[in-house]
Structure formats: C-alpha cells, structure tokens
Amino acid sequence: MIKVVIAEDDFRIAQVQEQFLQKITGVKLVGKALNAKETMDLLSENEVDLLLLDIYLPDELGTDLLSKIRESYPIIDIIMVTAATERTMLEKAVRYGVFNYLLKPVTMKKFVETIEDYKRKKELLSISDEIDQTMIDRFFGITNQSTIMHKDLPTGIDHHTLEKVKEVVEELKGVSIDEMSEKMGASRTTARRYLEYLVSVNVCTAKHEYGIVGRPQRKYYFVE
C-alpha cells in the first residue's frame, strides 16, 4: 500500500485529488495539508511514500520546501501538482529529484496514469536487490517491443503467447482483460498476467474507461 500526502492550499482541488486517488488500487491517503508547515507536520507524524506537492503554498513555495524535505525525509517521493509554468520552477524541481511535474488543471486520466506509472516503477524496483541494464531501461521508460527477448521473459510468460497477445492489442487498438481472455482462449488470470507484463516493460499502458456506468474498465494500449 502506497501512503500519500496531498499538500494543496485550495481545499476543493485537494478534494478532487483525493477522489482521483480513490479510483486507484494500492494507494492510501494519510493526510492533506493546506500549507508548508502542515505538510512538514504530516511528514513527521506519518509514514509517507509519496507527496503530491503544490508550489504556491501560502506560507512558503513548494520548491523552497524541497530542500527541507530531502534533508529530513530523503526517501519520500514527490510529484509536483501546480499551476506554475515558469521554467525555473521545473528546473529546480528536477534538481531535487521529483518523480513527475503535473500542470493544473490536471485531468483525471492524466492524474491516474501518472500514479499508475509511479506504482509500476516502485514495483519494478522491488523485484530484486540487484539491477541490470534491462531493468534500468524499463524503469526510465526507454524499453520498446524489439528489446523484449525470449531470454528476458520471466517465469509464466511464454514468448509465442506473448507475441499473440501483442497481435491482439494491435488488432483491437486497445483491449480489456475479458476481451484478451476470449481471444487467447485462456483464463482471465492468464490474460491479466500477460497484459500487466507488457505494462511493466513499458510496451503497453493501462487506462481506465470512465465513460461507462458502473465499475471503470481497465483497458490496455500500446505506448505511443
């Protein structure tokens, strides 16, 4: 479970971000802060994995807060969510190792994709205590379809079946787990395993279809 803090001085925006987070499995909101002081208090009082940080806080700029956060809580990951479009703000955030930088207004689709990408990379790093170049390439998102070799496939992923799965994704221009299961003639569990593997190596991306009444449907597309 990824524990999240929202630092946002507009309570309405913070509430929207909270609603977005509720649509993502494996994350838990542990607190919301309206200013820099409350942000630091929340970080000191809770175990936090990810901070969603605004820049224009009323008592201190979020970019100025970065040095304090890095000094006291070096392992906390940070995603900036801000209206700041100044290049210098982005440059400073990058120097302090922020995971991503989202410009307001943030759509639900973009917000969910960013958090899902964060989750994927956290999971990738948890696979092994040692890394190789293949894992590094996958983490930084430069892996493509041609780099997935038979010898790299994990247990439970067959090369020929994987190629079939990729053909189905291409044919349907996006596919759900149920659709893949039917096309493969396999269980939903097997279909999900192959699709999630393609997401883990940055060949596919998973998106939620929110236009249908009822539970959002997870669909898989090739990364553009």
Do residue 176 and residue 79 come from a single domain? Answer: no
- pLDDT band per the 50, 70, 90 thresholds, residue 128: low
Do residue 136 and residue 110 come from a single domain? Answer: no
Percent of the chain with pLDDT over 70: 89
Q: Indicate the residue among 52, 82, 115 that finishes a domain.
A: 115
What total of structural domains would you count in the chain? 2
pLDDT one-digit tens code per residue, 161-220:
998 999 999 888 889 999 999 999 999 999 999 999 898 888 888 888 765 555 677 899
Q: What is the pTM of this model?
A: 0.64
Do residue 6 and residue 104 come from a single domain? Answer: yes
Domain-embedded: residue 125? no
Do residue 176 and residue 110 come from a single domain? Answer: no
pLDDT one-digit tens code per residue, 62-72:
999 999 999 99
Do residue 189 and residue 110 come from a single domain? Answer: no
Q: Indicate the residue among 115, 143, 170 that finishes a domain.
A: 115
For the cut 80, the answer to whether the pLDDT of residue 158 exceeds it is: yes
CATH number of the domain that 178 lies in? 1.10.10.10
Determine if the peptide bond prior to 105 is cis (ω within 30°): yes
- Domain limits at 78? 2-115
Do residue 92 and residue 147 come from a single domain? Answer: no
Domain-embedded: residue 182? yes
Given a contact cutoff of 8 angstroms between Cβ atoms, the answer to whether 150 and 159 are in contact is yes
- Could you write out the DSSP letters of every residue in the chain? -EEEEEE-S-HHHHHHHHHHHTTSTTEEEEEEESSHHHHHHHHHHS--SEEEE-SB-SSSBHHHHHHHHHHH-TT-EEEEEES---HHHHHHHHHTT-SEEEESSPPHHHHHHHHHHHHHHHHHHHS-SS--HHHHHHHTT---GGG--GGGPPTT--HHHHHHHHHHHHHHTSEEHHHHHHHHTS-HHHHHHHHHHHHHTTSEEEEEE-SSSSSPEEEEEE--
For the cut 90, the answer to whether the pLDDT of residue 138 exceeds it is: no
Domain-embedded: residue 122? no
Do residue 77 and residue 145 come from a single domain? Answer: no
Do residue 36 and residue 135 come from a single domain? Answer: no
